[in-house]
Amino acid sequence: MAGHQAAALDADIYGSGGAVALLETLVRELLGKPAGLFFAKGVTAQLCVLRALAERRGTANVALHPMSHLDLDEANAIERVGGMRAIRLGRTTPFGLAALKAVREPLAAVTIELPLRRAGYLLPPLDELEAISAWCRAQGIPLHFDGARLWEAAAGYGITPAALAAMADSVYVSFYKGLGGLGGAMVVGSEALVDSLAVWKTRYGGNLYTVFPYAISALAGIERHLSRMSAYVHRARTLAMKLAAEPRLIVNPARPHVNAFQLLIQGNPAELAARNRAFAERERIWLFNAFHEPPIAGWSTAEVVIGEAAQEHTDDDAFGWIRSFLAQS
């Protein structure tokens, strides 16, 4: 990071100037939006967006998927802290336009997580997403993308990040997942919306005195990884195809939508976590970060995510390690 050209800039003060300003300009250009604001934390970023839209629209109702990060992984912050009312659409796959049209209450916003991680990193079909975008604009309802992995989603669709972001009125992106930054996020959208976020950023305790290390690492991550996203997606698909030949696994989805997918493995999460640690100690290979319970008795879910580190190994390497893990008792 110290060797990056942005390290020579003066440090930002409360997010103003320095590497943060450089990052905000770059990302809003990459996503084709007129304005953008850096946040140290994605939870804060999206709470700010939804509160600002709720005030503008005069309603606290927000359409979201019950498996989305907003609803499943943030300790109910959207309701307990944000004061929103969740209108939950869909179950185990991304919701479509028909589910949205069935809503009979006014909406402050429609939110879509791209990809829907907890469902297997699933993307809605591109034509369905385009239809939702067109409907929201016809109804005057803001469409917000929870794009923590928007860079990966665009590569999965085979379109540019700007083309994907163009479908939404506002977009949140993360810098520490596929881009490998220290942390941090950004919201892009209209100048009026982004201007309205500053006061909420302060109210939610998100206005740190300086965040230049996050910004420098994000700039470096964009330079290093953005052009590789299509290769990461392709690699996930070739590995998934190989793993699908193993009868002791279920690959979900069979053809990954992005650079990540789920593996369903027989056994309970605690047992598999212990086996994973034992495998790592013996082989010096860490396979899975965590195991979760899927809606199939006797099975557990693990995740495979392809990034730069995966390029050091072949699909045959990974297949061999996982088969060895499955044989371990």
Predicted TM-score (pTM) of this structure: 0.96
In the block, residue with structure tokens 């490998």? 180
Residue pLDDT, tens place only, 156-208: 999 999 999 999 999 999 999 999 999 999 999 999 999 999 999 999 999 99
Rounded distance between C-alpha atoms, residue 261 and residue 253, angstroms? 6
Tell whether 216 and 236 lie within a shared domain.
no
Tell whether 110 and 199 lie within a shared domain.
yes
Rounded distance between C-alpha atoms, residue 23 and residue 184, angstroms? 11
Rounded distance between C-alpha atoms, residue 210 and residue 20, angstroms? 9
Tell whether 10 and 83 lie within a shared domain.
yes
Would you give the DSSP letter of residue 6? Answer: G
pLDDT band at 57 (very low <50, low <70, confident <90, very high): very high
Tell whether 66 and 206 lie within a shared domain.
yes
Span 270-289, average pLDDT: 96
Residue pLDDT, tens place only, 109-167: 999 999 999 999 999 999 999 999 999 999 999 999 999 999 999 999 999 999 999 99
Spatial neighbors of 298 by CB under 8 A, at least 6 apart, are: 266, 267, 268
Looking at every residue in the chain, the average pLDDT score rounds to 97
Q: Looking at residue 295, what is its pLDDT? A: 87
Q: Which tokens is 308 given?
A: 């730069």
Strand 35-39: give its sheet, edge to edge: 35-39, 185-189, 170-174, 143-147, 109-113, 61-64, 85-88
Is there a contact between 260 and 236 (Cβ–Cβ < 8 Å)?
A: yes
Tell whether 223 and 237 lie within a shared domain.
no
Query: What is the sign, positive or negative, of the torsion defined by CA atoms of 30, 155, 177, 100?
Result: positive
Look at residues 200, 227, 254 and tell me which one is the last residue of a structural domain: 227
How many independent structural domains does the chain possess?
Answer: 2
Tell whether 245 and 160 lie within a shared domain.
no
SS3 state at 38: strand
Q: Looking at residue 329, what is its pLDDT? A: 62
Tell whether 277 and 241 lie within a shared domain.
yes
Tell whether 29 and 146 lie within a shared domain.
yes
- CATH code assigned at 92: 3.40.640.10
Is there a contact between 64 and 71 (Cβ–Cβ < 8 Å)?
A: yes
DSSP H or E segment with residue 210: none
Tell whether 36 and 105 lie within a shared domain.
yes
Domain span at residue 172 reads 5-227
Is there a contact between 142 and 153 (Cβ–Cβ < 8 Å)?
A: no
